[in-house]
Each structure stands twice: as structure tokens, then as C-alpha cells.
Amino acid sequence: MQQISSFTPEGKRVIIKKPELLAPAGSLEKLKIAVHYGADAVFIGGREFGLRSNADNFSIEEMREGVEFANKYGAKIYVTTNIFAHNENMEGLEEYLKDLQEVGVTGIIVADPLIIETCKRVAPNVEVHLSTQQSLTNWQAIKFWKEEGLHRVVLAREVGLEEMLEMKKHVDIEIETFIHGAMCIAYSGRCVLSNHMTARDSNRGGCCQSCRWDYHLFEQDDHKEEEIALYQEADDPFTMSPKDLNLLEGIPQVIEAGIDSLKVEGRMKSIHYVATVTSVYRKVIDAYCADPDNFKIDPKWIEELDKCANRDTAPAFFEEVPTYKEQMFGNHGKKTTFDFAGLVLDYDEDTKIVTLQQRNHFKPGDEVEFFGPEIENFTQQIEKIWDEDDEEIDAARHPLQIVKFKVDKPLYPNNMMRKGVL
Amino acid sequence: MKKPELLVTPTKVDDISRLINSGATAILIGEEKYGLRLAGEFNRDDIKESVKIAHGLGAKVYVSMNALFHNDKLEFLPEYISFLSDVNVDAIVFGDPAVIMAAREAAPEMKLHWNTETTATNYFTANYWGQKGAKRAVMAREINMDSIVETKEKAEVEIEVQVHGMTCMFQSKRTLIGNYMEFQGKDLKVEGRSKDRTLFLHDPERDAKYPIFEDENGTHIMSPNDICIIDELEDMLDAGVDSFKIDGVLKSVDYIEKVTSLYNEAIELYLQDPDAYQDKKFFYLEEIEKIQPINRNLDTGFFFKETVY
């Protein structure tokens, strides 16, 4: 097993095997934000063969631009090509994989051996990572995939820390695991609820999340031909909505286990989510690796993650099989406490005027918070607001409108502004 | 034209001779520790006995090991496979590559059938598992008739298709029924949540009822209808699909026996006289409709249904 830590000449332990922080990017803008906010790698979806057919997804040209941008910052790009293909989906696969190689993506995330084998044959420079859709739950299966020439495996979401440790002990291959975000309540790849209920193929990107709908649990009494409701009128209905994954507090253990890549889910989420989650985990990983023995979770990190959460979170299978406490019954959603209000384009140090692109309504008198990789979070009350032509306005009403106002502390391009919602 | 294998699932040892006498030429058995959603629980003595009975009547015995194994189960695989080999089981059904790894060590001669259910969706991947040691691929229930025929044409492995019964829609490692009951504040020891209770989820939007049960492998949710294509067998018989499976999970042996004999008759009739089959096929369908349990309608699954994505 690879060495995780070593000692400095002064005798301080430091982590030398720092895991990759892998962030989701549903669009070129999110890709740039993810890298800017500290992601070592991002995963994106193409127009075909991926599992989020409703997402924006990248054209080959957009991927090229993404790769060029990522290269400048030493970041890697992986493309999700993790459908289980039907015969009719084979067409165009070779061309697509050759395009990915030519564009220069580092790897693809794959579930179907059709795509694994085709990639090995036509795009040998592209790394092949086994998708969580294969629901990989044991080290012998990992050994099998290593022998098949895969570069990396993504574990099933059902794998806990003890199991990860054993996997690392038995097989020398890069292991990626989810640390944050929404997840399937079924073994991935083993759910076709969506196919049955809405004729949308979950394993080709059509999942309509039927698991999160409300159902009623009954018992059939075959002898009496009677159906007995197993709920009272006042009970919340049966549902299968898992709390979102949040492994913030488990990061030290995951690092010590030698896990190679820590993945944040959410290609469909906003840039506010991508920026917030990426920057928090960046700070956690850096802080732990620099001084593992004096590391403490900063309550501010937990608070910060909460600012972009629209559902409750839990560590899922990390320690044991989740109970009802890691599921949501009744009201599944949680009110978001913050809106993403604006993206910083420029800041004039002399006049202290920020130029900002509006992303949500705000007006003079509002208290807002700024955050970004170059700054410590701070809050500020907005005074006068001007539009692009320096006309004073009573509110920033229009999406993507360019506005200016005074901010006391320095800001940098791509810093973000958020606003509390009541 | 060759007669395909008719593979059925007994619920217990005593069912086996009845089912073979009704036309079954192979049986699928196993235990919950290794296999998913079985019609019955067969311990090692049962398996030994089953092989004796089935082989005596000229039928094959397959044992299911298609669970998703976590690390803690790995140590049991080689020994179980050795046992199955020693008692002359004809093939092992697997989904997890860990079974291939274990079989290479424990019983390299043992035949393997690849069956992950939902992910066996194209001929290339069927052949891929063939190269890794599988003799047969069991196709996903979510692909259509045209794909099955095309897959059979291009497959280098045997192709098995489920023609009748319930299918699985969902498997979670979480104990979802128990979790709900605990959430409601019920005492699980009193309530129970197993296959022995006939539980179902009612979907008010579609007015559908989905059987649900928990076992060692987690929570399973099953299809609202039973597949039945006894009146649509022509294309697959013409194509030479190797094995037709009747899945009897959550059904009585009387039901499985009757369905087996009807399919056997339908297949034999088609092979002897395709026109006579055309005349009689709706009769077979009606005969099955007569014995359907309450709440279980028949449909044709995804054989003629397109999915979008």
C-alpha cells in the first residue's frame, strides 16, 4: 500500500498522498468555477452515452475549450459515458470516443463493457474509470476490473469505510468514492422503477426519480382477499428519499485510508452549489493534509455547506447501513437559506466599487455575503446600486444585469455574492 | 428447429418432479445468502437432493449466485462453488465478477451464466462476459423483442430470456420496510417485514401495486404485472433463443406447474405446426388468465414497449 504520510525534518507529520478533489460541472461556466474554487478534476457529460439526458451537457467544441482551460490550471477532465447501451446505441460510439481522445480529456467514466472495450481499442490514451453504475461492492470484483486494464474504480455508494480499507489492502488501483451530494437509494444500475412507471430508461439517462415519490404500504391477506393499510391516516406516506450524502467529518478517515479521488455529485446543480461545496472540501483537505495531528473540523465549514443545501444530509453508509434517520419522510425538501445573488466581474481598489453580474434579485439595504478562494467570507449591507451606464437603480432586478455598488473589502473576479432568504 | 430449454423455479424439493413432468427441462434454485429473489430457499442438502431428482428425470440444475457481494461474503464463495461442483450442479448464475474470480480457483470447469438482470442490455456485453468465462447471458427484461432477436443472432453465448412472471424493478441495500415501520414507531419484532408477509406498495398516481419484501440482500420491489408472452413466442423460437425462463418468485407451485405445462404445450405445438399454434395461442393466454392471483394482471413487459431517455 502506498505511503500516506511522512514526517518533516522538524518532526511534524504531513500527508504526502493527497487525494484528488473531483467536482461536477454541468456546463463550461461551472467547469471554470469548479477549477477556480479548487477542484483538482471535474467530471462532465457529453451529448451522448451519459446518464443525465436532461442536463445541458457539453458539445465536443465545448469540451475542447474546457480541456484548454483545465490544462492551464493543471486540472483533469473526465467524461461520463456510463449508460448501459442497448444494441441501437452502439452506433457512433467509436467516433465519439475518438473525439474525446483528440480533445484531450483525461478519462471516461464507464459502466458497460461495450464502452470499456471500445475505448481501449479506439481511444487507448483515454483512461477508463469504472462507474458507480456497476455497483462495485467487493475487492475481488475490483481485482477483476484491474486485470481488465481499468485505471480507476468508483465504488458503490453502499460501501463503508471499513470495506474501503480492506479494498485498498487487497488491490492496488485508484479508488474514487463519493463524499457529497444526492444519491440513489437503490444499488446504482439495479433500479428500473422509472422504466416501469414512466417508460423512461433509468440506465440510459432517463431516470425520473420515482423512488422519491409517495406510496402507501399495504398487506395483502390472501385468505380473506383483503388489503390492510399499514399506516394511519395521519402517518407520512412510505417513500424512499435518502438524505443527501455529506462526508465532511469523515474526510480525515478517507484520506488516511488512501482513497485516491473524492467525488462531489451534482452536474445538475447551480454554480453556487459547485463553488460552495468545492471550496469547503478544498479547505478541509488542505487543512488536514498540512497538519493531520492537530486538525479540527471548523464549524464554519459545516455552516458554509449548509448554505447551498436544499435537503438534509447524512453520512449514508460510511459507518453502517443507514436507518430511517438517514431517510426523509413527509416533507422531503428543506428551504434553502441562501440565494446566489451575483458573480463578481471586477473590483476597483481605489473606488472600492464592485462590478457584478446579477444572478438573483437584490436591492439597497439588503445584507449580502461574499465568498471566494481569495477571501474570507464577509457580510456587508448594500447601499446605492448603479447600472452599467452609472444610472442609480432601486433594485437589481434583471438576470445577468451588470451592476455596480460599493464594497468595503477587496474582491476578485469570480467571487460570489449570496443573500439570505427568509 | 430446436426446442429451447424451459427453465423454471421450484419453491421446494418436492416441486421438482412435478415441474419436470410438466415440461421443465431445467430448474433454478439456490439460497438467499448467494442468490437474488428466489422462489424458494434450498440449503445444501436440498441442492444435493434436487440434483439427484432432476438429473434422474433428465433435467438440469442451475444454482443462483447473482447477489452483489460485499467483502464479508467473499470468503464463502470458493467453498460454496466447490460444493456445487462436487454435487454436479450444471451451472452457476452470477452477476458479480467476484464469482468469476472464485470459480477460476475453486472449479474452473463449472459453467457460468451471466445474469445481472438490469444491465444485460446488448450483444457485445453478452459476448464480453462470454470471453470472461460465461456460457450464457440472461438478457435484461427491459429490452425489446427486436433487440432480443438481434442479440441472439450476434451472440457467441447462449441466450436466456424470461418469458413469464414477475420481474424486479429495484434493489436497495437499505432495509426500507423496516425503516418505515421504525419511523412510524412500530415494534419490528412484532411487525415482521419478510417475504412471508405479502406486502405491496400502492402507487396512487398509476393505481398500481408493487410487491415489496426484505431479505439478507436488502429491499426488493417487484413489477406490478406478470410478464406473459405465451401468445408471442414465434420470433424467439425462430431466432433460436436457447432458454425460456418462467420465474415463480412469490407464486404457488400449483400456479408454476400449470404455467409450465401451458408453455411447454405452446412451444411444442409451434415447433410441430406453426399454424396450429396461431389458432391456439389465445387459448393458452386465457388459460393463464384464469389462474392469475388477484391483483396480478398479465402484460408483455418491455417486449413491445419502447423506453425513452
Q: How many CA atoms lie within 13 A of A395 on its CB side?
A: 10
CB contact under 8 A, B181 and A329: no
Query: pLDDT exceeding 70 applies to what percent of chain A?
Result: 97
The span from the CA of A4 to the CA of A229, in Å, is 54
How many helices (H) and strands (E) are present in chain A, helices listed first? Answer: 10, 24
Q: What distance separates the 2 farthest-apart alpha carbons in chain B?
A: 61
Q: Which residues of B244-264 are buried (b: 16+ CB within 10 A; e: fewer)?
A: bbbbbbbbebebbbbbbbbbb
Count of CB contacts below 8 A, A vs B?
A: 213
CB nearest to A324's CB, from B74, B129, B183: B183
The residue of chain B with its CA nearest to that of A135 is B68
Long-range contacts of B132-139 (CB under 8 A, 24+ apart): B132/B97, B132/B100, B133/B100, B133/B103, B133/B104, B134/B94, B135/B91, B135/B111, B136/B91, B136/B111, B136/B112, B136/B160, B136/B242, B136/B243, B137/B113, B138/B93, B138/B113, B138/B114, B138/B162, B138/B245
- CB of A218 within 8 Å of a chain B CB? The answer is yes
Interface of B with A in 173-202 (CB under 8 A): 173-177, 179-184, 197-202
- In 3D space, the residue among A20, A82, A84 whose CA is nearest the CA of residue A52 turns out to be A82
Taking only the tens of pLDDT, chain B with its 309 residues reads 899 999 999 999 999 999 999 999 999 999 999 999 999 999 999 999 999 999 999 999 999 999 999 999 999 999 999 999 999 999 999 999 999 999 999 999 999 999 999 999 999 999 999 999 999 999 999 999 999 999 999 999 999 999 999 999 999 999 999 999 999 988 776 666 666 788 999 999 999 999 999 999 999 999 999 999 999 999 999 999 999 999 999 999 999 999 999 999 999 999 999 999 999 999 999 999 999 998 899 999 999 999 998
In chain B, domain spans? 5-165+227-299, 171-219
Which sign does the torsion angle of CA A20, A23, A25, A31 carry? negative
CB contact under 8 A, A85 and B122: yes
Can you read off the three cell numbers belonging to residue A197?
Answer: 412507471
Measure in Å the smallest separation between the Cα of B274 and chain A Cα atoms: 29
B202 vs A contacts (CB less than 8 Å): 215-218
The pLDDT, as a whole number, for residue B131 is 98
Cβ atoms B191, A204 nearer than 8 A: no
The pLDDT, as a whole number, for residue A422 is 67
Confidence at A291, pLDDT banded by 50, 70, 90: very high
CB nearest to A140's CB, from B68, B102, B309: B102
- CB of B98 within 8 Å of a chain A CB? The answer is yes
Mean pLDDT, all residues of chain A: 95
The residue of chain B with its CA nearest to that of A117 is B128
Radius of gyration for the alpha carbons in chain B, expressed in angstroms and rounded: 19
How many helices (H) and strands (E) are present in chain B, helices listed first? Answer: 12, 14
Interface of A with B in 143-162 (CB under 8 A): 143-145, 156, 158-159
Question: What is the arithmetic mean of pLDDT over A162-171?
Answer: 97
In chain A, domain spans? 5-188+241-328, 338-420
CB nearest to A238's CB, from B125, B143, B201: B201
Indicate the CATH number for domain A5-188+241-328: 3.20.20.70
B102 vs A contacts (CB less than 8 Å): 140
**pLDDT over 70 at A143, yes or no:** yes
Confidence at A54, pLDDT banded by 50, 70, 90: low
Query: pLDDT exceeding 90 applies to what percent of chain A?
Result: 92
CB contact under 8 A, A324 and B171: no
A183 vs B contacts (CB less than 8 Å): none
**pLDDT over 80 at A55, yes or no:** no
The pLDDT, as a whole number, for residue A115 is 98
For the stretch A216-233, pLDDT in tens is 999 988 676 789 999 998
**pLDDT over 90 at A411, yes or no:** yes
Give Cβ neighbours of residue A340 (< 8 Å, ≥ 6 apart). A270, A271, A272, A359, A360, A416, A417, A418
CB contact under 8 A, B147 and A144: no
Q: Which helix (H) or strand (E) holds B220?
A: strand B218-222
Q: Which of A116, A146, A195, A222 would you mutate first to test chain B, the one with the most B CBs within 10 A?
A: A195
Q: Tell me which amino acid residue B8 is.
A: V
The partner residues of A404 in beta bridges, in order of sequence, read A355, A386
The pLDDT, as a whole number, for residue A210 is 95
Interface of A with B in 319-338 (CB under 8 A): 321-324, 327, 329
Can you read off the three cell numbers belonging to residue B254?
Answer: 400449483
A322 vs B contacts (CB less than 8 Å): 174, 179
**pLDDT over 70 at A69, yes or no:** yes
Fold observed for domain A338-420:
Elongation Factor Tu (Ef-tu); domain 3 (2.40.30)
CB contact under 8 A, B124 and A231: no
The span from the CA of A307 to the CA of A284, in Å, is 17
Q: Answer whether CATH 3.20.20.70 is correct for domain B5-165+227-299.
A: yes
Measure in Å the smallest separation between the Cα of B249 and chain A Cα atoms: 16
Q: Which of A49, A215, A233, A329 would you mutate first to test chain B, the one with the most B CBs within 10 A?
A: A215
Q: Tell me which amino acid residue B51 is.
A: V
For the stretch A299-357, pLDDT in tens is 999 999 999 998 999 999 999 999 999 999 987 666 678 999 999 999 999 999 999 99
The residue of chain A with its CA nearest to that of B117 is A190
Confidence at A51, pLDDT banded by 50, 70, 90: confident
CB contact under 8 A, A217 and B212: yes
CB contact under 8 A, A200 and B306: no
The pLDDT, as a whole number, for residue B297 is 96
